[in-house]
Structure 1
Amino acid sequence: MAAITDAPGVRSGAWPSRWPPLAIVATAAAVAALCALPPAHLAWRAAQDPAAAWSTLAASAVAPLAARTLAYAVVTTAIATAIALPLAWITTRSDLPLRRLVTVLTALPLAIPSYVAALVAVSAVGPRGLLQQMLEPWGVERLPSVYGFWGAAVVVALVSYPLMTFTLRPAIAALDPRLEELSRGFGYGRWTTLRRVVLPQLRPALLSGALLVALYALADFGAVSLMRFDSLTRAVFVRYTSGFDVTGASSLALLLMVLALAVVVLEVATRGARRHDAASGGAAPTTTALGRWRWPALAGVALLLAAALVLPVAVLGYWLARGLAGGEAVSGLLGAVSDTLLAGTFAALVTAAAALPVALLATRHRRFPLSRPIEVVSYAGYALPGLTVALSLAVIAVRMGALYQSLFVLVAAYGLLFLPQAVGATRAGLNTVRPSMEEAARSLGRRPWRAFAEVTLPLAGRGVAAGAALVFLTTVKELPATLLLAPTGFETLATRVWSASSEAFFARAALPALLLIALSTLPLAATGLWRRDA
């Protein structure tokens, strides 16, 4: 089997070893320098009182806290992988009924804020929740607790698994079915072919998606707080907002960043030094007939949607109906929708553009000494809670005067927080393009930039668009950065949801939350996920 995946033109070595153009290096280095601003600010704050910082990190409770946080991220990633990998396959390469509709619906949980998902889980299936109240006539007085480690891991996995499907689906769509046919021609069965031919080609996309989920879990605050799980993120927020211990909070935030960067380094090392190039432009992907598993597979997808999408929407609909029946006002949402679309669109375009040079270095110029350091640094902001990134940028913006509470700084915060999503998806898209295709364009007289624009970028465009869609989806529900950095009078749907739910006005929060989910269909349509061949 090694002969199959290592055959010339199927799985090649690294891209040409020449050094990248200066423009790419300079742009990627500038992006990395901006990403380094928040951690540099945290380090500076911690250095103001090194004794207090060391006392915080040396406390006996910190090591177990860090271990629990890392374990929680690993379990969340494992659950998300178990959901996303088969889901991406059956929605891309099988004859699953209603495949286009399933593709769109299974991406929507990403638009649900983690704190909304956790609130729904507690109110629906937690102790004294709606389910327990329905079972009371049958003698069920209390359901098992959903709080803690496993509750937080399951809730975050259900809202973050689309991060993996976004990177896996373009890679699966680009697979060359001839390799699978060749494997079966050698007498290997379906499972052996999957393990030794298909999965190695999906490895870059799978690792990229797993990295995004792990970093999402490490930086999340809403779900872990409502699910009462003590993580490093929660500890940072408590020290910032309750204890006013800026030095201690900065020290714990730096520890969280170190854990996250360790995950990034592990992913980069695991990715390996060789490329897994999909044979773009080869045979069209075949459709796998599910046979007798066709309807059971659809039933499994239905169960997933019931837990990740239908239940949250139903609970929000229940609160909306109660609010409307009680005369709850729903005016003033048009401005929030407009501001949400403005922020999401700007953030998606700017971040996708910033991710391209970083992804190019990571895929096409791996042997360049600065490629891996730049890629690792670009993940720094995503590993930090939104509050710490926003506070760092707020301090810098205040010192620069007019930039504070400007749309420019807000979009910059979104870019720092969500750049890895665009980098991961763009890198997965670039990995589907054979280097020989661009070399062929150059041999026909195309200049390097024109060959890239006319050949590489269109072939990798699906990954670039998926990255922009991911940034849009996560931007519209980002809360801490928006609260701290939004211009005066700038209000998004996320801030409307938070302001209402924090005051226990759940009926008032229901409609903005439902509109957030509805807005998520826009980037899905833009990336072509409505099409059957997406």
Structure 2
Amino acid sequence: MADDLSRSPLAIAGTPRFASGYRRRLPSQRAAPWLLGAAVLVALLALLPLGFVLGVSLQTGWDTIAQLVLRPRVAELLFNTLLLLLLTLPLCVLLGVALAWLTERSDLPGRRVWSLLAVAPMAVPAFVHSYAWVSLWPALHGLPAAVLVSVIAYYPFVYLPVAATLRRLDPALEDVGESMGLKPRALFIRVVLPQLRLAIAGGALLVGLHLLAEYGLYAMIRFDTFTTAIYDQFQSTYNGPAANMLAGVLVLCCLLLLGSESACRGQARYARIGSGSPRLQRCVTLGAGARVAALLLVLLSSALTLGVPLLTLGNWLLAGGIEAWQAPELLPSLRQTLELGLLGALLTTAAAMPMAWLSIRAPGPLLRLLESCNYIASSLPGIVVALALVTVTVQYARPLYQTTFCVLLAYALMFLPRALVSLRAGIAQAPVELENIARSLGRSPWQALWRVTLRLAAPGAAAGAALVFLAISNELTATLLLAPNGTRTLATGFWARTSEIDYAAAAPYALLMILLALPLTALLYHQSRRTAGR
């Protein structure tokens, strides 16, 4: 009876539903053939980079693979990659967790401002961080420089999920620990830290994937990684076997990283159970010495992550003067960045729509499998996606090689999950009953989807499109390999200027990229605050 009432228009209009003590499962709908076909097509395209690696490996043969992979150069690159991961990930976790705890659970003065400053480094592209540090300290290079700049650029990926989890953590857990005699340090290690496992593992995974995929940061400080070596091989041999085999090793590193993150999740339950609502978080009072140390930590982190880039950028803007802003390529670079960003955001959001609708309205094992395929390309470095598209277009679709469509397709493959997650959340908040009522009034499935569901899901779609747009505006590697001749975005224009050691001319490009990225930072910050109603 209660379930029938919940499906009625009266329930939708506001009639209270029966509190049955469990969450009612939404009724599934039959998947429209065209939606299912579109979702399958997008999933197959998402598997293209992985299929490229497997296909090239089979075509090359085991003897050639062994000859290309079992080389001292590959061992050196693998050693560099492992050292970079082993040194950078713990430092990002330590810094991210420490800042999250100080800004969310302590009485640190001005903690709201410090929390905003902890997220702000995400507005600065990683290769701009490298540009700032190399400008300030030209002798900075090698592994120490790679670790320093990587921690500065990527620790917010750990800070954001950990801070959000600390806001939602029920203080009753800590009350139980205190009642058992645990001291504050033991309480954090044995009670709070285990509850942060998912957030830390997820943030560390994002950092690790960025470390494997980043090109501009490490090329500028002369630290060799698989991505820099693949790009150099491609430039010298034009997609030769050596570049393809290095891409295969890089894909294996990404898959191992994904498997490690999955194993770190564990099987523990993290949801709060019990009656009532959780209490507000309590604030830990810092002692005089701890408060001074905390202020020094947040001041130092803000100075390194924001002070150095802004100071260096300001100096180069002053050195370049008005002439740097009068460069004939600057405005066309901004225009092409906006065009590619808008077109890529629209294409990616449209490609994510069928899978987002099916995952909410018609869930099932097959659809879960199709949905997981969409995350594969996003976990692979952009240079692997670009190499896959170069090979496919050259061999099977030559007219598409180095076209705008090819660049947009690469953006869609890399950034599809950003649109999918936001759009799926928006569709989940659109009642299925409204869609059913529209169909009962004679609307076709497409009309009901377009006029009802997508209108209600518009905020989620807009948020996903904004995330994709801002990711495209800072993308470098795939754009360098796939863009048509004469195409220059802000990222590629910045890279061309820094390659010529013309740092003053590169400063306007860097400033414009930061200004475009600021809305993303504000969006992430406010969404993170809204998760706890603050």
In which range does the TM-score fall when normalised by the shorter chain?
A: 0.7 to 0.9
Q: Residues 299 and 21 of structure 1: is their aligned pair in 2 closer, same or farther, counting only changes over 3 Å?
A: farther
The residue number in structure 1 matching 2:109 is 97
Determine whether 1:216 maps to 2:210.
yes
Give the drift of 1:97: 3.3
1:131-530 alignment runs, 5 A limit:
146-244=140-238, 246-277=240-271, 282-292=277-287, 293-324=290-321, 329-330=326-327, 333-341=330-338, 343-344=340-341, 375=372, 378-384=375-381, 386-397=382-393, 399-400=396-397, 409-418=406-415, 471-486=468-483, 491-527=488-524, 529=526
Instruction: Find the aligned partners of 1:342 and 1:498 in 2 and give their Cα distance.
Output: 19
What is the TM-score with the length of structure 2 in the denominator?
0.74
1:54 aligns with 2:61: no
Give ranges in structure 1 of 5+ residues lacking alignment: 1-14, 128-145, 431-436, 449-460
CA distance in 2, matches of 1:86, 1:390: 37
Cα distance between partner residues in 2 of 1:403 and 1:339: 19
Q: Distance in 2 between matches of 1:426 and 1:87?
A: 31
Give the number of aligned pairs.
Answer: 489
Q: Per the alignment, do residues 98 and 494 of structure 1 end up closer, same or farther by CA in structure 2, a change over 3 Å counting?
A: farther
CA deviation profile, 1:386-424 (whole Å, cap 9, x unmatched) = 233123224445645775556554343224334567789
Aligned-partner residue type, residue 175 of structure 1: L
What code does the residue aligned with 1:476 have? Answer: S
**Residue 374 of structure 1: CA displacement?**
6.2
Q: Aligned in 2, Cα 1:96/1:110: closer, same or farther, shift over 3 Å?
A: same
Tell me the CA shift for residue 285 of structure 1. Answer: 3.6
Q: Does structure 2 retain, via aligned residues, the 8 Å contact 1:313–1:514?
A: no
Work out which of the two has the higher radius of gyration on C-alpha atoms and give 1 or 2: 2
Answer yes or no: is the 8 Å Cα contact 2:40–2:370 preserved in 1. no
Please point out which of 136, 160, 167 is paired with 1:124: 136
Structure 1 residues 70 and 229: alpha-carbon distance in aligned structure 2, compared to 1, 3 A threshold:
same
Distance 1:464 1:196 in 2: 40
Quote the Cα distance in structure 2 between the aligned partners of 1:209 and 1:219: 16
Return the letter of the residue paired with 1:478.
Answer: E
Deviates more, 1:314-323 or 1:484-493: 484-493
Contact conserved, 2:386 with 2:482, CA < 8 A, in 1? yes
| CA separation of 1:25 and 1:171: change in aligned 2, threshold 3 A | farther
Contact 1:94 1:288 in 2 (8 A): yes
Residue 42 of structure 1: which of 53, 58, 83 is its match? 53
**Residue in 1 aligned with 2:454?**
none
Aligned to 2:95: 83
Distance 1:193 1:414, change over 3 A: farther
Stretch deviating more after TM superposition (486-495 or 223-232): 486-495
Partners of 1:332 and 1:284 in 2: CA distance: 56
Superimposed CA distance per residue, residues 170-227 of structure 1 (whole angstroms, 9 cap, x where no aligned partner): 3232222232233323332322332233222221121111011111111212222232
Deviations 1:356-408 (CA, angstroms, capped at 9, x unpaired): 99999999x99969958964872444332x23312322444564577555655
- Do the aligned residues in 2 keep the contact of 1:348 with 1:468 (CA within 8 Å)? yes
How far residue 248 of structure 1 moved from its aligned partner, in angstroms, is 1.2
CA change 1:402–1:175 in 2 (3 A) is farther
Judging changes above 3 Å, is the alpha-carbon distance between structure 1 residues 316 and 271 closer, same or farther for their aligned structure 2 residues?
Answer: same
Deviation at 1:321, TM superposition (A): 0.7
Alignment CA distance shift 1:426-1:263 (3 Å): farther
| Residues 1:310 and 1:480: Cα distance change in structure 2 (over 3 Å) | same
Shift of residue 114, structure 1, vs aligned partner: 3.0
For 1:366 and 1:64, the matched residues in 2 are separated by 45
Q: Distance in 2 between matches of 1:206 and 1:116?
A: 26
Which has the larger displacement, 113-122 or 323-332?
323-332
Going from structure 1 to structure 2, the CA distance change for 1:203 and 1:345 (only over 3 Å counts) comes to farther
Measured on the aligned residues, the alpha-carbon RMSD in Å equals: 4.8
Cα distance in structure 1, aligned partners of 2:217 and 2:418: 20
Q: Which amino acid aligns with 1:382?
A: S
Any conservation in 1 of the 2:324–2:504 contact (CA below 8 Å)? Answer: no
CA distance in 2, matches of 1:196, 1:372: 36
Distance in 1, matches of 2:473 and 2:323, equals 28
Q: Secondary structure at the match of 1:230?
A: coil
The answer on whether the counterparts of 1:96 and 1:298 sit within 8 Å (CA) in structure 2 is yes
Greater CA drift, 247-256 or 369-378? 369-378
When structure 1 is superposed on structure 2, of 76-85 and 468-477 the one drifting more is 468-477
For residues 233 and 489 of structure 1, do their structure 2 counterparts lie closer, same or farther at Cα, with a shift above 3 Å needed? closer
Q: Secondary structure at the match of 1:159?
A: helix
Q: 1 CA distance for matches of 2:277 and 2:333?
A: 46
Which whole-Å CA distance do the structure 1 matches of 2:187 and 2:356 have between them?
29
For the residues of structure 1 that align with 2:45 and 2:243, how far apart are their CA atoms? 22
* Contact 1:239–1:249 under 8 Å retained in 2: yes
